C-alpha cells in the first residue's frame, strides 16, 4: 500500500513538472489586449507558460521578482533591460518580417509633414517601450539632438488622442502601423519618413540554460500559426 | 494614513527653498556649490518636489502609480491623504509644510479647499503651479483660480466614439447627446473635436429656456425634458448612437428607472457611457469607455514635465483631455444587435 502511495506521489510530481513548460514573459504593445494575446498564444502553444504585460514597468518589476526562462520583446527593450540589470540577454530567435529584421519609424502629423530641421522644437508622442528617460535618450540619440520633447502613452490607441487634441505635433510609430491609424481616424494623417531611424523587430531572449527548455521554446515559437506570428509583428523566427 | 513615497528632510529643505524662492537657476547654483563643498562625485540637479493631495482609494492609487513611475527621475512625490473627512486645517498644514514646486489635487473636495486656501493667502505667498484631476467637470471647478490647470476625468466623446467606430462595423456618424445648458461650452468644444473625425454630435439642450439660462429646471420638468430629449434624438434625428454624459443631475435614480431605461431598451443601437455603474444597469449602457486611471497618471506626469521644462510657467485655467481609456462591451447586446468582427473582441478590456 505504501509503495503504491509513493508511486502515485512520484507520478503526480513528475507529471506536474512535465506539464509546466518554460515560463515566458512578453512585452509587445499592440492594439490587442494583453489578456487576449496571452489566451491566443496559450491555445496555440500549450507547451509554454506565457504572460503578456501591457506596461513596461509592470514587465520590468515582474522580471526582477521572478525570473522566467525567456522573454519576448523588441530588441531595444531587451538590450535596455540587459544594460540596466548588467545581465546580458542572449537572443534565441530573431523576428523577421518580409525578409527584414527591423522596420522604419515614421512621424505622423495632422495635415502636414514635419520639418526635421526643427525636431528639437516639436512635441512628439511615443508609446513608452522603456521608461521616459530611456525613451527620451533613445530618441535624442537617433535624431542626433541634445534634447527632445516627448509625451508618453502606454497604448497604441492613446497616441491618436494626442493628435486629436493637438497635445503633440506628431506621433512616432513604426511604418507598419500607418494603416492601423488610418483605419481608426478620419484626420488627415501625413507621414514624414525618417532616414535610418528603425525599430528592430521582436526577439525571443533566452534566460534559461536548460537545453530541454530551450528546445521547447524554439519548437513553440517556430510552430505558431502565421496569423499568430503576425500578431507578434513577425512572419518568421530565425536563429541568431 | 499619510503616505510619503520618497521621504526627505522637509524642515531643512523648506527653509532652504524659502530662502531661495522658486528660481530654479538660484537653486541649481546653490546645490552646485553645496556639491563642490561636500565633494560629492555627482553634480546632478536636485529633483523637484511634487505634492499630491487627495484620497487614497483604488482609482486614486492607480493615478499615483502612473505618476510616480513616470516621474521618478524628475520629482520627489509626496502623497498626503485628503478626503471629505479631512478638516481644512490639515489640508492647509500639508501645503505649508511641504511647500511643493508643483501641486496635484485629486477630487472635488481638494479643489474647494484649495480655492479657500488661495483666497486666504493671496498676495502673501507664491502659489505653486497646480494640476487638478480626478474631479468631475473640472472646467467649472477651477474657474478664477490662480496658476491652476485641469485634466478632465470624463472621457471626451471623440475618444469614446473613435473607439466605438473602430470596434463595430455599424455606422457611427450621428451621435445623440442630452446635456444641460450649463454644459453648453463643453458640448460645443467636444462637438468641434468630433467634427474633425467626421462624427456629428447632435445635441439636445435642457434648460436653455430657463429664466437665467443656466440649465436650472425643476425636478418634474427635468424628467420631462430628458424624456423629450431622448425621443427627439431617437425618433426625429434617428441617431446611430446615444452618448450619455456623466452628469449626476441627468442620471438621478428615478429618472434612470422611469425615463432612460424605457427609452434605451427599445433603442437597440450603441449606448455609450463613461462610468461603470451605468454598464451594470441591465439595458442601459452597452459600450463603456471609462478612464484608465494609470493612464490618467501618465497624462498628469506629461503635464508636470511640461510645466517643469517651461520654468514653472503655465497657462492658468487651461483644461486638458485624458488620453487613455478602458473599453467595456456588453457581449449579449453586441452579439444580438451589433456587427462586431470576431478579431475586434480582442481589443476590448472587459467583455461582460
Q: Mean pLDDT, chain A, as a whole number?
A: 90
- Buried b vs exposed e over B233-265: b needs ≥16 C-beta within 10 Å? bbeebebbbbbbbbbebbbbeebbeebbeebbe
Contact A162/B at CB under 8 A: yes
Please, what is the end-to-end C-alpha distance for chain A in angstroms?
53
Res B330: pLDDT? 96
Q: Are residues A81 and A117 in the same domain?
A: no
Q: Are residues A195 and A107 in the same domain?
A: yes
Q: Which comes out higher in pLDDT, residue A95 or B4?
A: A95
Contact B50, B74 (CB under 8 A): no
Interchain pair B346, A161: CB under 8 A: no
- Overall average pLDDT of the A98-126 stretch: 95
Q: Which residues of A touch B348 (CB under 8 A)?
A: 33
On the question of pLDDT at B301 being above 70, the answer is: yes
Q: Are residues A93 and A172 in the same domain?
A: no
Within-domain flag for A9:
no
Within-domain flag for A2:
no
- Buried b vs exposed e over A167-192: b needs ≥16 C-beta within 10 Å? bbbbbbbbeebeebbeebbebebebb
Res A2: pLDDT? 56
The enclosing domain of A52 has a CATH number of 3.40.190.180
- Overall average pLDDT of the B7-28 stretch: 44
B23: confidence class by pLDDT, cuts 50, 70, 90: low
Q: Are residues A175 and A110 in the same domain?
A: yes
On the question of pLDDT at B140 being above 90, the answer is: no
Within-domain flag for A12:
no
Taking Cα atoms as reference points, which of B52, B50, B49 lies closest to residue B134? B52
Contact B42/A at CB under 8 A: no
- Overall average pLDDT of the A8-19 stretch: 46
Q: Mean pLDDT, chain B, as a whole number?
A: 87
Q: Give the minimum alpha-carbon distance from B133 to chain A in angstroms, rounded to a whole number.
A: 17
| Cα separation, A134 vs B42, whole angstroms | 19
Q: Are residues A120 and A162 in the same domain?
A: yes
Contact B188/A at CB under 8 A: no
Q: Give the minimum alpha-carbon distance from B172 to chain A in angstroms, rounded to a whole number.
A: 12
Q: Are residues A196 and A109 in the same domain?
A: yes
Res B304: pLDDT? 96
Within-domain flag for A6:
no
Interchain pair A131, B197: CB under 8 A: no
Could you tell me how many residues make up chain B? Answer: 352
Q: Are residues A184 and A169 in the same domain?
A: yes
Q: Which residues of A touch B302 (CB under 8 A)?
A: 151-152, 167
Q: Are residues A119 and A192 in the same domain?
A: yes
On the question of pLDDT at B144 being above 70, the answer is: yes
On the question of pLDDT at A215 being above 50, the answer is: yes
Q: Are residues A110 and A90 in the same domain?
A: no
pTM of the model: 0.85
Out of A55, A162, A185, the one facing B162 most closely (by C-beta) is A185
% of chain B residues with pLDDT over 70: 84
Q: Which residues of B touch A155 (CB under 8 A)?
A: 295, 324
Q: Are residues A68 and A149 in the same domain?
A: no
Q: pLDDT by residue (tens digit) across B186-243?
A: 899 999 999 999 999 999 999 865 544 555 677 778 999 999 999 999 999 999 999 9
| Cα separation, B208 vs B181, whole angstroms | 5
Within-domain flag for A136:
yes
Q: pLDDT by residue (tens digit) across A58-89?
A: 999 999 999 999 999 999 999 999 988 888 89
Q: Which residues of A touch B347 (CB under 8 A)?
A: 31-33, 36
Q: pLDDT by residue (tens digit) across B35-74?
A: 444 444 334 457 899 999 999 988 999 999 999 999 998 9
Three-class secondary structure assignment of chain B: CCECCCCCCHHHHHHHHHHHCCCHHHHHHHHHHHHHHHCCCCCCCCCEEEEEEECCCHHHHHHHHHHHHHHCCCEEEEEEECCCCCCHHHHHHHHHHHCCCEEEEECHHHHHHHHHHHHHHCCCCCCCCEEEECCCCHHHHCCCCCCEEEECCCCCHHHHHHHHHHHCCCCCCEEEEEEEHHHHHHHHHHHHHHHHCCCEEEEEEECCCCCCCCCCCCHHHHHHHHHHHHHHHHHHCCCCEEECCCCCCCCCHHHHHHHHHHHHHCCCCCEEECCHHHHHCCCCCCEEEEECHHHHHHHHHHHHHHHHHCCCCCCCCCEECCCCEEEEECHHHHHHHCCCCHHHHHHCCEEC
| Cα separation, B232 vs B239, whole angstroms | 10
Domain range for A27: 17-99+201-238
Res B27: pLDDT? 52
- Overall average pLDDT of the A204-218 stretch: 95
CA-CA-CA-CA dihedral for A182, A183, A185, A187, to nearest 10: 40
Q: Which residues of A touch B158 (CB under 8 A)?
A: 161, 164
Res B18: pLDDT? 46
Indicate the number of domains in chain A: 2
Res A87: pLDDT? 80
The enclosing domain of A108 has a CATH number of 3.40.190.10
Contact B76, B50 (CB under 8 A): yes
Out of B72, B159, B348, the one facing A161 most closely (by C-beta) is B159
Interchain pair A185, B323: CB under 8 A: no
On the question of pLDDT at A147 being above 80, the answer is: yes
Q: Are residues A218 and A188 in the same domain?
A: no
Residue B309 cell numbers, joined: 521644462
Res B209: pLDDT? 56
CA distances from B64 to A179, A226, B54, B111, B189 (A): 34, 40, 10, 17, 29
Q: Are residues A95 and A107 in the same domain?
A: no
Within-domain flag for A71:
yes
Contact B321/A at CB under 8 A: yes
Within-domain flag for A221:
yes
- Overall average pLDDT of the B9-29 stretch: 46
113-152 of B, contacting A, C-beta below 8 A:
none
Q: pLDDT by residue (tens digit) across A17-49?
A: 444 789 999 999 999 999 999 999 999 999 999
Res B40: pLDDT? 41
Res A171: pLDDT? 98
Within-domain flag for A74:
yes
Contact B44/A at CB under 8 A: no
Contact B204, B179 (CB under 8 A): yes
Amino acid at each position: 500500500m505504501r509503495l503504491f502511495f509513493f508511486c502515485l506521489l512520484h507520478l503526480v510530481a513528475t507529471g506536474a513538472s512535465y506539464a509546466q513548460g518554460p515560463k515566458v514573459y512578453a512585452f509587445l504593445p499592440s492594439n490587442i489586449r494583453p489578456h487576449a494575446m496571452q489566451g491566443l498564444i496559450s491555445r496555440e502553444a500549450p507547451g509554454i507558460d506565457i504572460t503578456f504585460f501591457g506596461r513596461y514597468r509592470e514587465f520590468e518589476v515582474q522580471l526582477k521578482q521572478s525570473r522566467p526562462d525567456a522573454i519576448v520583446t523588441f530588441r531595444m527593450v531587451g538590450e535596455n533591460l540587459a544594460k540596466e540589470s548588467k545581465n546580458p540577454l542572449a537572443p534565441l530567435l530573431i523576428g523577421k518580417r518580409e525578409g527584414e529584421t527591423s522596420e522604419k519609424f515614421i512621424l505622423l502629423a495632422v495635415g502636414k509633414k514635419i520639418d526635421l530641421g526643427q525636431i528639437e522644437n516639436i512635441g512628439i508622442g511615443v508609446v513608452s517601450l522603456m521608461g521616459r528617460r530611456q525613451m527620451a535618450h533613445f530618441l535624442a540619440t537617433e535624431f542626433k539632438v541634445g534634447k527632445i520633447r516627448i509625451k508618453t502613452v502606454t497604448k497604441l490607441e492613446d497616441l491618436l488622442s494626442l493628435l486629436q487634441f493637438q497635445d503633440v505635433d506628431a506621433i512616432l510609430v513604426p511604418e507598419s502601423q500607418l494603416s492601423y491609424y488610418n483605419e481608426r481616424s478620419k484626420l488627415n494623417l501625413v507621414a514624414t519618413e525618417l532616414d535610418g531611424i528603425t525599430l528592430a523587430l521582436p526577439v525571443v531572449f533566452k534566460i534559461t540554460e536548460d537545453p530541454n527548455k530551450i528546445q521547447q521554446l524554439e519548437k513553440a515559437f517556430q510552430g505558431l500559426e502565421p496569423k499568430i506570428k503576425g500578431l507578434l509583428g513577425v512572419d518568421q523566427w530565425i536563429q541568431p | 494614513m499619510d503616505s510619503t513615497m520618497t521621504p526627505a528632510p522637509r524642515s531643512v529643505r523648506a527653509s532652504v527653498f524659502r530662502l531661495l524662492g522658486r528660481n530654479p537657476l538660484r537653486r541649481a547654483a546653490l546645490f552646485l556649490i553645496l556639491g563642490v563643498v561636500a565633494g560629492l562625485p555627482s553634480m546632478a540637479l536636485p529633483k523637484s518636489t511634487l505634492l499630491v493631495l487627495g484620497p487614497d482609494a483604488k482609482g486614486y492609487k492607480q493615478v499615483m502609480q502612473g505618476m510616480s513611475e513616470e516621474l521618478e527621475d524628475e520629482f520627489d512625490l509626496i502623497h498626503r491623504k485628503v478626503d471629505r473627512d479631512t478638516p481644512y486645517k490639515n489640508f492647509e498644514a500639508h501645503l505649508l509644510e511641504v511647500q511643493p514646486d508643483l501641486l496635484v489635487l485629486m477630487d472635488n473636495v481638494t479643489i474647494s479647499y484649495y480655492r479657500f486656501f488661495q483666497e486666504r493667502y493671496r498676495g502673501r505667498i507664491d502659489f505653486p503651479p497646480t494640476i487638478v484631476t480626478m474631479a468631475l467637470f473640472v472646467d467649472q471647478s477651477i474657474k478664477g483660480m490662480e496658476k491652476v490647470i485641469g485634466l478632465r476625468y470624463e472621457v471626451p466623446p471623440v475618444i469614446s466614439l473613435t473607439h466605438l467606430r473602430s470596434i463595430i462595423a455599424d455606422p457611427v456618424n450621428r451621435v445623440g447627446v442630452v446635456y444641460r445648458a450649463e454644459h453648453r461650452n463643453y458640448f460645443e468644444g467636444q462637438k468641434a473635436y468630433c467634427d474633425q473625425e467626421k462624427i456629428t454630435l447632435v445635441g439636445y439642450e435642457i434648460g436653455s429656456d430657463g429664466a437665467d439660462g443656466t440649465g436650472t429646471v425643476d425636478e418634474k420638468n427635468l424628467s420631462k425634458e430628458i424624456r423629450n430629449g431622448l425621443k427627439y434624438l431617437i425618433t426625429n434625428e434617428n441617431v446611430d448612437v446615444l452618448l450619455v454624459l456623466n452628469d449626476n443631475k441627468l442620471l438621478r435614480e428615478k429618472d434612470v428607472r422611469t425615463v432612460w431605461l424605457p427609452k434605451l431598451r427599445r433603442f437597440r443601437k450603441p449606448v455609450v457611457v463613461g462610468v461603470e455603474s451605468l454598464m451594470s444597469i441591465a439595458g442601459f449602457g452597452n459600450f463603456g469607455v471609462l478612464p484608465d486611471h494609470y493612464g490618467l497618471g501618465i497624462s498628469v506626469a506629461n503635464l508636470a514635465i511640461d510645466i517643469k521644462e517651461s520654468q514653472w510657467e503655465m497657462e492658468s485655467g487651461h483644461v486638458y483631455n485624458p488620453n487613455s481609456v478602458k473599453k467595456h462591451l456588453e457581449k449579449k447586446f453586441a452579439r444580438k444587435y451589433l456587427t462586431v468582427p470576431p478579431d475586434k473582441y480582442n481589443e476590448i478590456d472587459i467583455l461582460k
